[in-house]
Structure 1
């Protein structure tokens, strides 16, 4: 049983979630190296920041212009990312992420292993921001699901799974009142909102662990 449980609400189409995950990962590694007896379990939950995105995804600049008039705001994002290995080397598409969440939740449900969910999230982030892939495309998501987890597309790309993801998304927004991600809940008690520094995450872990 984990000493610390972290529930993360996040979206593949959220570049700050990508940066936040990198910082969170650095803190996890530091915690493991300095306090190896403390077990931390991370559970990923679906959240769609913009369900109105074209179902096939939208080109990077087209989306930025439509939403904000340009991509000037991304300068700070990219600078923050570089410091933690989120390089945004080949970011071409703003994806619609329903299928991404279908894959991640299926991986978690079928393996009953939160670490596998973490692997799925990593792979999807890498695909979008570093490899220039469109994870709105079921073929792209299917390749990731098959190569990494041996899943057939029919196991996650179906109406039942889509309904589950939409319900979880609605619960996060309406019942939990989450209005932005990344959103971290530690031991069902402490909340960290946004791409906090790795130091904030690490100190939060120590506080919860009582060390």
Structure 2
């Protein structure tokens, strides 16, 4: 069963959603038969390389709140994430463009390291205050996840995987995705948002039931013809 998850590195709810999905997958009876692919989605494709200024103040301006209300929202998010085992530090956060980080995720997928790369990038951004548009930072994070530094550096110096990132986003727009995280099972059913593990587990079970109907229970047997004759 294939699960695709659209998310952005610069999305606190996406990191929470990752943890909750992992908890759901751990409880899923057929977890060994599940393939997970992380798909690209930029919350702000036109973001500059780095924004300057206090993040709480930027959040307040974006949503029409006072700076105090903006900080309260961040404090609330930090406390909520801690309940899922995450250590958010918005005071360290360096907001900026995540496009090259998404290209790095596509490179890591070629090496079977996509989940490790996703985890490393999100922790770097939301906990450690790393800038996702800085190439040397991305080279270091890529090697942390197991990639070759030379290959990462060469990829970042080119336009490799740019079309793949855009294709992921176009697919999401085609699905009507307006927010992330967005979970899709076998391109047949989906869920938007960082739902509790119990709800994501239900999504997995419904997806499995839709693709793998229960075997027929034979209640009567008799003479018949088979592939080897009658």
> TM-score, structure 2 length as denominator?
0.78
Listed as ranges, the gaps of 5+ residues in structure 2 are 215-230
Aligned with 2:119 (options 119, 122, 127): 122
CA change 1:154–1:78 in 2 (3 A) is same
Q: Could you say which structure has the greater relative contact order, defined with CA pairs below 8 angstroms and 6 or more residues apart? A: 1
Q: How does 1:58-137 map to 2 (within 5 A)?
A: 58-59=52-53, 60-68=55-63, 69=65, 70=67, 71=70, 72-89=72-89, 91-108=92-109, 110-111=110-111, 113=112, 116-137=113-134
Distance 2:187 2:171 in 1: 16
Aligned with 1:47 (options 16, 37, 41): 41
> Is contact 1:99-1:157 (8 Å) kept?
no
Question: What's the C-alpha RMSD, in Å, of the aligned pairs?
Answer: 2.2
Deviation at 1:176, TM superposition (A): 2.2
When structure 1 is superposed on structure 2, of 93-102 and 64-73 the one drifting more is 64-73
Deviation at 1:102, TM superposition (A): 0.6
Q: CA deviation digits over 1:116-165, x for unaligned, max 9? A: 11111100001011112112211111111133211331124422432432
> Is contact 2:103-2:160 (8 Å) kept?
no
When structure 1 is superposed on structure 2, of 54-63 and 40-49 the one drifting more is 54-63
Distance 1:170 1:36 in 2: 30
Deviation at 1:56, TM superposition (A): 2.5
> How many pairs does the alignment contain?
200
> Is contact 1:181-1:193 (8 Å) kept?
yes
Distance 1:142 1:62 in 2: 30
Deviation at 1:82, TM superposition (A): 1.1
Deviation at 1:179, TM superposition (A): 0.9
Matched position secondary structure for 1:54? coil
Matched position secondary structure for 1:136? coil
Residue 153 of structure 2 corresponds to: 153
Q: CA deviation digits over 1:71-92, x for unaligned, max 9? A: 2333442232111112204642
